[in-house]
Each structure stands twice: as structure tokens, then as C-alpha cells.
């Protein structure tokens, strides 16, 4: 399958690898991409956080001391869902201006565009600065591949700026909120339901906590482009049988955070707010990221985009989180833009598609960004 003539064929080739996560099994797809990059002079290293779960880091060196530009994307996709597809999700069917398939939008079109541009940059006689591609496994299950890279001593090195090719229909985002999830538990004393006065009802305690959380104030000013943090109670589980006083209850809380918030401090804030009646456990977290839109490189990317968008881009954040929440802090916070050819509203959907015109435009945009950095 090593032959492709353009980014459309390459997207279709990538769609043919079943990288639905779980189980992921990105190895074959990663090896294919590695061979495309190695054959034009990139140094490629593979990293596996589990068998078959392959992430690649590909480097093309420059001649100057300038740090490389980093393009990054993930090669796993989400499952197909329960609804039947009207198109074969692995065949890359084309109709009108669309390529259909699981991952067409999120984000094999972005990976294809980045790889196609990387191969063009490799043809430059003497690139001034280098180019690095990080193509990850396991992003859809909380950035597993990126966390694995970040945990290794010498896997990442340095980067001067990052482009994350997640689907934005070629509109730039300068960051995204973080997320932190907590389980908040209450305890009681069980008793017969006919004598509730002999027990302590854990569900009542949890109910009070849920109602209080509606009034919770993060005490932080909204971020200029990401807005306010949010809190949602998503689950409540308590009681085993209807004829007993429940002695355990747990609620699940999802908080979306902005720069300047520390997730451990939020845990403490919640504890102070809800008092000793609750026990709080931090379940998982990803960091928010936000690049200053006044940054010179960000402005230069906005200039590249203006003719395509037919308007000056406005700095805003993506609604989803990305591998940048791991990579950007690990690289020491270089400017980071989320920008990709996929349609954000088609991500994870039945009959997912990417517009061919957006894909071709995406290749031009990435090429201009990479040439400005590397040439
Ligand atoms: Zn994605």
C-alpha cells in the first residue's frame, strides 16, 4: 500500500487501517506512515505503550540552531457506534466533495495532510529549521500515547511551535480547556426502611452536596479566549435496595478548567465548600492550554489563513481537548495552534466525512506554515 499520489489517496489509505480504539492496534498504520517519512529522509522512532499501540516521532533536521516546528495528530479512531453506517467506514468512499470513513474527519485527513507536507518539505535543498511529526496512538482514550512519550527521557526533545491537526475546518484555535473529574462520596448508616430514624441516609447527604454544587464559584475571572470554567454533575449512584436506608452514595463531577487553575487546588476548594460530610477523589485530568494570540508566530499563521477564511481569524478555544495538553507543557509551552481540515461537527459521528476541498486547502495551509518556519 506504499503508493499514493496525493493527500486524498493518502487519507483513503489511512482509513483502510482499522485503528478503532479500543482496541486501537495502530501498529500497521504507524509503520506505513513511518515508511513514507523514512523514504524521504526523516529519522523515525517508534514507541509502544502496549503491544501494537505504536506512536511515531519523525524528525527532519535543519541546518540552523532554530528549534523544529512540530506537527502532531493521532491515528486511532473512536468506535463506529450502534447505528448502522450507510457507507463502508474503512473504504474511504468518495461522493461529491466528501471522503467518508471512521477517522476521515478525526483525524486521518489531518494526519495525511501533515505527512504529505512533510514529504514536500523534505525536498527543500537545505531546510533552515527542522520539522518533527508526532503521530500518536491512544489519543481517544485520554492521550495514552502522548503521556507515554512524555514519560520517557529522550523521546520528545524540543519544539519551537506546535500545530495539532484535530478537526477545525481550517479555522485556528489557540487552545482548549482542561478537564478534571472527581468522585464525591458520602457515607451513612444503614437501617430498615421502616425505621429510617435509626440510620443516616447517604443519599440525602449527596443530594445536599449536588444542590450546593449548583452555587459553586471558582473565583477566577473568565479567560480572554476560553471563557469560564464549568462544572457538571454527571452521575449519582447510591443505595442497593429500596427497603433500606442507603449507607453509601457517590456523585461524578466533570469540571472544565482554564489556565491559571490548579486541579489539586480545585479539589481542596470543593472540600472546603462541601465540608467534612464528603470524601473527594480526583479520578483523572488533562491540562488546559492557551497561547497568547499576540504571539508573533500565531499572528503569522492567522495571516496565512486569512485568504482561505476570507476574514481575519478571531482567537478562540477548541471545545475538545487534545494531545497538546500533554505535549505543550512537556515542550515548555511553545506557541500551539489547533488547526485541521476535518469538520469538527462530524467527529465521532455515524457516516463521518471530510470535505475534499478542505483537505486540499489544509495541505496548502500546512505547507505555507512549514515553509515559513523551515525555509
Ligand atoms: Zn481527534
Residue range 251-300, pLDDT digits in tens: 999 999 999 999 999 999 999 999 999 999 999 999 999 999 999 999 99
Q: What pLDDT sits at residue 126?
A: 87
Ligand 1 centroid, distance to 271 Cα (angstroms):
33
Please report whether residue 356 resides in a domain. yes
Pairing of strands 230-238, 248-257: antiparallel
Ligand 1 centroid, distance to 120 Cα (angstroms):
24
Ligand 1 centroid, distance to 126 Cα (angstroms):
33
Is 221 in the same domain as 72?
no
Global confidence as pTM: 0.90
Q: How many domains does the chain contain in total? A: 2
CA distance 175 to 173: 6
Cell numbers placing 276: 467534612
Is 196 in the same domain as 224?
yes
Residues 6+ apart with CB under 8 A from 344: 105, 167, 168, 169, 318, 319, 320
Is 236 in the same domain as 150?
no
Please report whether residue 21 resides in a domain. yes
**Interval 157-186 mean pLDDT:** 97
Ligand 1 centroid, distance to 346 Cα (angstroms):
11
Ligand 1 centroid, distance to 359 Cα (angstroms):
16
Ligand 1 centroid, distance to 149 Cα (angstroms):
18
Is 278 in the same domain as 301?
no
Query: For residue 24, how far is the Cα from the chain centroid?
Result: 16
Q: What is the CATH number of the domain that holds 200?
A: 3.30.70.360
- Spell out where 137-247 has E strands: 161-164, 175-176, 178-187, 230-238
Q: What are the pLDDT digits (tens) for 117-168?
A: 999 999 998 899 999 999 999 999 989 999 999 999 999 999 999 999 999 9
Ligand 1 centroid, distance to 142 Cα (angstroms):
11
Q: What are the pLDDT digits (tens) for 237-249?
A: 999 999 999 999 9
Which contiguous run of DSSP H or E holds residue 374? Answer: helix 356-374
Is 90 in the same domain as 100?
yes
Last residue of a domain, one of 263, 286, 309: 286
Q: What angle do CA 338, 119, 346 make, to 5 degrees?
A: 35
Ligand 1 centroid, distance to 34 Cα (angstroms):
20
Please report which confidence band the pLDDT of residue 61 belongs to, taking 50, 70 and 90 as the band edges: very high
Ligand 1 centroid, distance to 19 Cα (angstroms):
13
Q: What pLDDT sits at residue 3?
A: 59
Task: Say whether pLDDT at 320 is over 90.
Answer: no
Ligand 1 centroid, distance to 305 Cα (angstroms):
21
Q: What is the CATH number of the domain that holds 353?
A: 3.40.630.10
Sign of the alpha-carbon dihedral angle for 354, 357, 360, 366 = negative
Task: Say whether pLDDT at 4 is over 90.
Answer: no
Task: Say whether pLDDT at 2 is over 70.
Answer: no
Q: Which among 57, 81, 91, 53 is positioned nearest to 71, based on CA atoms?
A: 57
Ligand 1 centroid, distance to 245 Cα (angstroms):
44
Ligand 1 centroid, distance to 74 Cα (angstroms):
7
Residues 6+ apart with CB under 8 A from 119: 36, 37, 40
Please report whether residue 1 resides in a domain. no
Please report which confidence band the pLDDT of residue 250 belongs to, taking 50, 70 and 90 as the band edges: very high
Last residue of a domain, one of 225, 256, 286: 286
Ligand 1 centroid, distance to 1 Cα (angstroms):
24
Ligand 1 centroid, distance to 322 Cα (angstroms):
7
CA distance 275 to 222: 26
Please report whether residue 2 resides in a domain. no
The range of the structural domain enclosing residue 352 comes to 7-176+288-374
Q: What are the pLDDT digits (tens) for 206-233?
A: 999 999 999 999 999 999 999 999 999 9
Amino acid at each position: 500500500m506504499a503508493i499514493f499520489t496525493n493527500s486524498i489517496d493518502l487519507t483513503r489509505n489511512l482509513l483502510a487501517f482499522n485503528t478503532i480504539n479500543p482496541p486501537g492496534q495502530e501498529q500497521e498504520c504507524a509503520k506505513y506512515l513511518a515508511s513514507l517519512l523514512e523514504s524521504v529522509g526523516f529519522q523515525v522512532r517508534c514507541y509502544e505503550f502496549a503491544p501494537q499501540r505504536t506512536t511515531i516521532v519523525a524528525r527532519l533536521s535543519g541546518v540552523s540552531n532554530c528549534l523544529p516546528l512540530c506537527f502532531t495528530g493521532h491515528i486511532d479512531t473512536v468506535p463506529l457506534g450502534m447505528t448502522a453506517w450507510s457507507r463502508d467506514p474503512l473504504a474511504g468512499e468518495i461522493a461529491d466533495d466528501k471522503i467518508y470513513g471512521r477517522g476521515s474527519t478525526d483525524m486521518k485527513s489531518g494526519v495525511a495532510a501533515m505527512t504529505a507536507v512533510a514529504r514536500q518539505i523534505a525536498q527543500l535543498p537545505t531546510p533552515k529549521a527542522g520539522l518533527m511529526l508526532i503521530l500518536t496512538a491512544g489519543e481517544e482514550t485520554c492521550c495514552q500515547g502522548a503521556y507515554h512519550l512524555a514519560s520517557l527521557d529522550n523521546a520528545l526533545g524540543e519544539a519551537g511551535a506546535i500545530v495539532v491537526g484535530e478537526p477545525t475546518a481550517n479555522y485556528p484555535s489557540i487552545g482548549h480547556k482542561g478537564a478534571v473529574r472527581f468522585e464525591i462520596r458520602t457515607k451513612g448508616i444503614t437501617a430498615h426502611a421502616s425505621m429510617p430514624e435509626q440510620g443516616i441516609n447517604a443519599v440525602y447527604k449527596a443530594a445536599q452536596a449536588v444542590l450546593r454544587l449548583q452555587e459553586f464559584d471558582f473565583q477566577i475571572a473568565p479567560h480572554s479566549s476560553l471563557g469560564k470554567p464549568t462544572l457538571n454533575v454527571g452521575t449519582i449512584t447510591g443505595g442497593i435496595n429500596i427497603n433500606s436506608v442507603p449507607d453509601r452514595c457517590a456523585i461524578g463531577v466533570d469540571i472544565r478548567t482554564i489556565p491559571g487553575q490548579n486541579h489539586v487546588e480545585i479539589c481542596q476548594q470543593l472540600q472546603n465548600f462541601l465540608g467534612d460530610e464528603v470524601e473527594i477523589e480526583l479520578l483523572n485530568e488533562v491540562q488546559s492550554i492557551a497561547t497568547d494570540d499576540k504571539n508573533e508566530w500565531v499572528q503569522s499563521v492567522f495571516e496565512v489563513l486569512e485568504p482561505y477564511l476570507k476574514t481575519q481569524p478571531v482567537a478562540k478555544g477548541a471545545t475538545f481537548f487534545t494531545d497538546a495538553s500533554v505535549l505543550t507543557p512537556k515542550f515548555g509551552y511553545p506557541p500551539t495552534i489547533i488547526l485541521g481540515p476535518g469538520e469538527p461537527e462530524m467527529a465521532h459521528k455515524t457516516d463521518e466525512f471530510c470535505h475534499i476541498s478542505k483537505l486540499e486547502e489544509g495541505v496548502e495551509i500546512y505547507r505555507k506554515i512549514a515553509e515559513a518556519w523551515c525555509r
